[in-house]
Amino acid sequence: MSRFPPMLNYVPLNEIYVDATPDGEFAIRLLTAYRNRCDYKWVMSGLSVGEEAVYRHMNEDQIKRGQELDVALEILKRERG
């Protein structure tokens, strides 16, 4: 049993498949899959004050990672034309 709270929108890693065909679009597919995982957030209901602070920080970092990946994906897509 996990000691972590559940996550919203979570899909287990072993259920995510990224086509690794080296066709010029692999990097975009890979970054997009990782970017989509940034939408997963920890459920904070029922946590202690200290635990809530930790998971709030983790959720905020998920948002920041997603923003960075959004920028990187836009640059990569623009460069690909």
Task: State residue 48's pLDDT score.
Answer: 92
Task: State residue 66's pLDDT score.
Answer: 97
Q: What percent of the chain has pLDDT over 90?
A: 69
Residue range 23-36: mean pLDDT, rounded: 93
HEC secondary structure over the chain? CCCCCCEECCCCHHHCCCCCCCCCCHHHHHHHHHHHHCCCEECCCCCCHHHHHHHHHHHHHHHHHHHHHHHHHHHHHHHHC
The answer to whether position 39 is within a domain reads yes
The answer to whether position 46 is within a domain reads yes
pTM above the 0.85 mark? no
Average pLDDT of every residue of the chain: 90
Task: State residue 3's pLDDT score.
Answer: 79
Which structural domain, as residue segments, surrounds residue 55? Answer: 16-80
The domain tally of the chain equals 1
The answer to whether position 25 is within a domain reads yes
The answer to whether position 56 is within a domain reads yes
